[in-house]
Amino acid sequence: MRLEAKPMPSLAQSLAYPLGAVAVTLVIVSALVVAAGASPFSVFQLVLVGAAGTPFAALETLTRATPLIFTGLAVAVAFRAKLWNIGAEAQLYVGAVVTVVLGTGALPLPAPILIPVLIVASMIGGGLMLLGPAFLKVRLGVDEVVTTLLLNFVVLLFVSMLLEGVLKDPMALGWPRSASVIAEARLPRVVTGLRLHYGFVLAVVAAIAVWFVMKKTTLGYEMRAVGHNAEAARFAGIPVNRVLLKTAMISGGLAALAGFSEVSGTARNLTLELSPGYGYTGIVVAMLAMLNPLGVVAAAIFVAGIFVGADAMSRTAGVPSYIANVMVATALLTMVTAIMLSRFRIRWR
Amino acid sequence: MPETVLNLSSITKRFGALVANDAINLRLAKGEVVALLGENGAGKTTLMNILFGHYVADEGSIEAFGQPLPPGDPKAALQAGIGMVHQHFTLADNMSVLENIVLGTQSKWSWRLDRAAAVARIRKLSSDFGLAIDPLAPVSSLAVGERQRVEILKALYRDARILILDEPTAVLTPQETEALFATLRKLVAEGLSIIFISHKLNEVMAVSERVLVLRGGWLVGERRTAETTRQELAALMVGQDVKMPEPRPASPGEPLLVFENVSTGQRSGGSRLQNLSFELRAGAITGLAGVSGNGQGAIAALIAGVERPASGRIIVSGREIGDWSPRAALSAGIARIPEDRHAVGSIADMSVAENVVAERYREKPFSRRGVMDWAKAHEFASRLIADYDVKCPSPDTRIRLLSGGNMQKLILGRALDPDPIVILANQPTRGLDVGAVAYVHGKLLEARDRGAAVLLISEDLDEVLALSDTVIVAYQGQISMPSKRGERSVAELGELMAGHGIGEAA
């Protein structure tokens, strides 16, 4: 068996591969559903209805997709420049900490000023969080996969320390939980009474902005050039190290926005349960989107839909909602395979 | 009629719309050297990849020693006694010659290796065929010519009866090429058969008995070497007559780039420079000759702005450049043609348009206030494609899909378009076909006649002598006194390349 390079796929082909990957995922997951004693068709139907069957369900899916769009964008931007940021989880928590520190009354500002301030401040915080590993990478050649991954645990412990100490809400009856952000620091709801908040709109705007930067600006061009061939980029006069540091600021900032929007839009306060691994799932989202910023929105909604839908399904069909994890993981594997098949042809002899 | 050892019949291979091989027949007899001649992209390498099982032919069949060869199975080709020496070597640098040669010849489960027997066998093969090498030396310590010998020994150790050599002389000095040809003659005398892939006419004339000429995937001609001429083969290969440019006498002017007592720190590959001083004058080509690894890399990196001098001064058009970088070099008016067009000169997975603006994307009209104007980049790419005669379907083509010659023409266009005052051309024609070589030489001479100062770094002495108005020779990080065109004979330059007369006077 060997691989041969293929010419560039057409637009139709490049859409067919992700859809094919989803179809294969459903077939593989069917086997597990059957093993759990249920009918695949009814389970998938229940997942779909649970994720998008009612306006309530659909808005819940979009709410869950919001942090995934941010972390997915963070990963997509960094991976484009071959900066392997595995630390979106840590950057998310930094954004959340900044939001809580500044948003619980320290800055008595009206909402139209306070919210932009929180956005910028958390982006700076998350960016600095990734700047350290990026600096070590360009200066000393320290592998950023290791540093960003391990910093996730460092930051979680640090947040835990804050929640037991200075940030602990005295009214929380001993729970490790921060005070709630003030009303001016809260993102408004899109529909009154439902959880969907303007963080989702911000995420979509961020996706469009990232798409524009990557496609149309000199910085995006520099990032792609560095990612494809850093040596040739350096020879051509592109300041590779500076580009990597800028990439780190943007990527870390985007991941921090996930933390800001979760605190400001849904949770209101900071706990260690703020993120059920959105930073890691962002890697899956970015890969499913083939690092395309607009694809990240679709991929995040798809992944969020599976989680939301699987919750609803497990209540009626009796299949554990863990099937959602299997589906997302399988989708990642089939997608990576599809990406490879879109670039290479397999010869069996 | 001697026994046929290899027979390829009507091999056809298509890549999408491109027909890389069109019904090609090749018969190889015992004890024969067949040359496969053709420009880059003519289909030589594709054909050999099919023979060797790397590609599967769409049509046609292969017989080796009377047995059909199953397609797409490199192991079958090896077992049938076919060995290949690739243009780019496939050796593990951190292992010894012995380990490289025996690698893959033992069963996976036998842990012990009979080193003594293996060493004895390698010694015998190397003395039989004039492939002098120490089996115990680490490959990392070997020169390029020696590495090629290891590749040939690898094939012979596996009892190859048919040897395929892909552009074997591209990396060799004239003396090493002669030694290789002597080895090939011995191999043929022992009854081996050889396919010699090349685009160099004089080598094909020197070494082969029969020549097959490929052009655009077609077999356009087959000649007995004794009954043909270089002119006929060149015409067959290119499809038209190629005229190498004839340089007019130069009229050197001001020094545009001056190195003053420049030294560099220790480098991982190649020599460090010690107190180097030279100047490049306007309207002249200075040729830097020398065996590779004698400081050419450091000089090129310094001029390109990739490295900074540890001490000494670099002066461009009378002004000392303090903060030295690729960008500073570009804005001082230095054009750079890098040695490795694949890894350094281009970004393989980006488009032609994205590649040609890599040095100028920050300037108008390609970008304004940080926003790219891709339409302008497309226009620029289309203009270079037309002006520099690049065969390329569109500015959106990924540069990876271009042949070496076309890629080099684009890099040349990118470098020469802004009318540079200094041009660094590092191995600008390595691996290119006759047509592309003539083209690159013509463009460099044009730039010289326009008043640019050109530094031509080349390991090909013929190239240096053909183009240069002044020749300097590098040896272990030092350089010889410059000599005018025709002042030193080839033999004298050869002495300098071996280090005689460099450094002693200084």
**B56 contacts on A by Cβ (under 8 Å):** 347, 349
Long-range contacts of B70-76 (CB under 8 A, 24+ apart): B70/A349, B71/A349, B72/A2, B72/A347, B72/A349, B73/A349
In a domain, B103, yes or no: yes
Which of residues 235 through 274 in chain A touch B, CB cutoff 8 A? 235-239
Contacts of B72 in chain A (CB under 8 A): 2, 347, 349
Strand partners, B423: B335, B454
Q: Which of A217, A232, A239 minimises the CB distance to B370?
A: A217
| Residue B412 sits in the same domain as residue B299 | no
CA distance B371 to chain A (A): 4
State what percent of residues in chain B have pLDDT above 90.
Answer: 38
State whether residue A229 sits within 8 Å of chain B by CB.
Answer: yes
Interchain pair B306, A235: CB under 8 A: yes
Q: Do B327 and A219 touch (CB under 8 A)?
A: no
Which is nearest to B321 in space by CA: B272, B252, B271, B256?
B256
Mark yes or no for CB contact B354/A225 under 8 Å: yes
Q: What is the pLDDT of residue B52?
A: 85
pLDDT at A9: 64
Cβ–Cβ below 8 Å for A221 and B305: no
| Cα gap B293→B168, rounded to integer Å | 19
Task: Evaluate whether residue B256 is within a structural domain.
Answer: yes
For B306, nearest residue in chain A (alpha carbons): A235
Nearest to A218 among B72, B305, B362 (CB): B362
Nearest-Cα distance to chain B for A25, in Å, is 29
* Per-residue pLDDT at B380: 96
pLDDT for position A92: 98
**pLDDT of B144 higher than 90:** no
Which residues in chain A have their CB less than 8 angstroms from residue B325's CB? 237
User: By the CB < 8 Å criterion, does A44 face chain B?
Assistant: no
Q: Which of A36-40, B8-12, B177-181, B496-500 has the highest mean pLDDT?
A: B8-12
Quick one: pLDDT at residue A280? 94
Best of B50, B347, B354, B376 to substitute, by most chain A Cβ atoms within 10 angstroms, is B347
Considering the domain boundaries, does residue B91 fall inside one?
A: yes
B32 touches chain A (CB under 8 A): no
Q: CA–CA distance from A125 to each of A95, A102, B363 (Å)? A: 6, 12, 33
Task: For residue B363, give both structure tokens.
Answer: 């300037």
Q: What is the pLDDT of residue B505?
A: 45
Q: State the pLDDT at residue A91.
A: 98
- The CA distances from residue B310 to A237, B130, B177, B264, B266, in Å, are 21, 43, 37, 5, 10
Q: Residue B192: what pLDDT?
A: 92
Q: Do B306 and A234 touch (CB under 8 A)?
A: yes
Mean pLDDT in residue range A162-181: 88
| pLDDT > 50? residue B439 | yes
- Number of domains making up chain B: 3
The lowest-confidence range among A252-256, B187-191, B488-492 is B488-492
In this predicted structure, the answer to whether residue B268 has a pLDDT above a threshold of 60 is no
Min distance B394 CA to chain A CA atoms (Å): 13
Residue A132: pLDDT over 80: yes
- Read off the pLDDT of each residue in B412-421 and give the average, rounded to a whole number: 94
Give the per-residue pLDDT at B107. Answer: 64
Over 60: is that where the pLDDT of B326 sits?
yes
Residues B27 and B142 in one domain: yes
**Cross-chain CB nearest to A229 (options B72, B73, B348):** B348
pLDDT mean over B326-349: 92
Per-residue pLDDT tens over the stretch B296-313: 888 999 999 998 898 899
Is residue B377 located within the same domain as residue B279? no
Identity (one letter) of the amino acid at B39?
E
Residues belonging to chain A: 349
Tell me: do B176 and B66 sit in the same domain: yes
- Are A218 and B367 an interchain contact pair (Cβ–Cβ within 8 Å)? yes
Range with the poorest average pLDDT among A80-89, A295-304, B201-210, B356-365: B201-210
* Per-residue pLDDT at B173: 67
Q: Do B361 and A7 touch (CB under 8 A)?
A: no
Q: Select the residue from A212, A221, A241 to test the B interface by mutation, using most B Cβ atoms within 10 A.
A: A221
> A37-319: which CATH architecture?
Orthogonal Bundle (1.10)
Residue B243 forms part of a structural domain: no
- Tell which residue, B141, B140, B143, B77, has the closest CA to residue B459: B143
| Cβ pair B326:A237 closer than 8 A | yes
Q: Which of A160-169, A197-206, B258-267 has the weakest average pLDDT?
A: B258-267
- pTM tops 0.95: no
Per-residue confidence band for B114, with pLDDT thresholds at 50, 70 and 90: confident
The answer to whether residue B245 sits within a structural domain is no
Q: Which residue has the tokens 């009814």?
A: A42
Top-confidence range, A113-127, B328-342, B379-393: A113-127
Residue with the larger pLDDT of the pair B422 and B393: B422
Domain boundary residue, one of B180, B211, B238: B238
Domain assignment of residue B340, yes or no? no
CB distance B45 to B166 below 8 Å? yes
**Which of B238, B269, B304 is the endpoint of a domain?**
B238
Interacting residues of B271 by C-beta distance below 8 A, sequence separation 6+:
B293, B294, B295, B298, B476, B477
B193-198 and B162-166: which strand pairing? parallel
Do B71 and A225 make contact, defined as CB atoms within 8 angstroms? no
CA–CA separation, B129 and B137 (whole Å): 19
pLDDT band at A335 (very low <50, low <70, confident <90, very high): confident
Whether residue B358 lies within 8 A of chain A, CB to CB, comes out as: yes
B153 and B285 fall within a common domain? no
- Cβ-defined contact of B326 to A7 (cutoff 8 Å): no
Report the residue of B350, B354, B368, B378 to disrupt the A interface, i.e. the one with the largest count of A CBs within 10 Å. B350
Band of residue B265 on the pLDDT scale cut at 50, 70, 90: confident
Nearest to A225 among B306, B345, B347 (CB): B347
Mean pLDDT within B421-425: 96
pLDDT score recorded for residue B171: 66
pLDDT at A1 exceeding the cut of 80: no
**For B349-378, how does the pLDDT look when each residue is reduced to its tens digit (9 = 90+)?**
999 999 999 999 999 899 999 999 999 999
Q: What is the mean pLDDT of chain A?
A: 91
For residues B268 and B286, membership in a common domain is answered with: yes
Q: pLDDT tens across B123-134, in order?
A: 999 888 888 888
Residues 288-307, chain B, touching A (beta carbon < 8 A)? 304-306
Torsion of CA A121, A123, A125, A130, to 10 degrees: -170
How do residues A239-294 score in pLDDT, each as one tens digit?
999 999 999 999 999 999 999 999 999 999 999 999 999 999 999 999 888 899 99
- Residues of B with CB below 8 A from A222's CB? 361
Instruction: Using pLDDT thresholds of 50, 70 and 90, give the confidence band for residue A201.
Output: very high
Residue B430 domain boundaries: 250-333+420-506
Q: Which residue has the higher pLDDT, B27 or B249?
A: B27
Position B105 pLDDT exceeds 60 = yes
Are A218 and B306 inside 8 Å of each other by CB? no
Residues B94 and B182 in one domain: yes
The alpha-carbon gap from B499 to the nearest alpha carbon of chain A, in Å, equals 31
Is B225 an 8 Å CB contact of chain A?
Answer: no
- How many contacts (CB atoms, under 8 Å) link A and B? 80
pLDDT at B334 over 90: yes
B409 & B482 share domain: no
Residue B271's region, left for phi above 0, alpha for psi from -120 to 50, else beta, is beta
- Please say which residue of B364, B387, B417 terminates a domain: B417
- Which CATH number goes with the domain that contains B206? 3.40.50.300
Question: Are B212 and B93 contained in the same domain?
Answer: yes
B74 and B58 in a common domain: yes
**Per-residue pLDDT for B143 more than 50?**
yes
- pLDDT at residue B113 in the model: 66
Are the Cβ atoms of A237 and B350 closer than 8 angstroms?
no
The answer to the question of residue B222 being in a domain is: yes
B375 contact A CB<8A: no
Query: Minimal Cα–Cα distance from A2 to chain B, Å?
Result: 8
Q: Are strands B319-320 and B311-316 parallel, antiparallel or unpaired?
A: antiparallel
- Is the same domain home to B365 and B432? no
Average pLDDT of span A38-65: 91
Q: Where are the domains of chain A?
A: 37-319
pLDDT for res A109: 92
Q: What is the mean pLDDT of residues B214-226?
A: 88
When pLDDT is averaged across residues B71-89 and rounded to a whole number, the result is: 85
Binned at pLDDT 50, 70 and 90, residue A14 comes out as confident
Mean pLDDT, chain B, as a whole number?
A: 87
Mutation for B interface: A80, A226, A235, most B CBs within 10 A: A235
Q: Is residue B338 part of a domain?
A: no
Q: How confident is the model at residue B256 (pLDDT cuts 50, 70, 90)?
A: very high
Q: How confident is the model at residue B110 (pLDDT cuts 50, 70, 90)?
A: low
Q: How far is B504 from chain A (nearest CA, A)?
A: 35
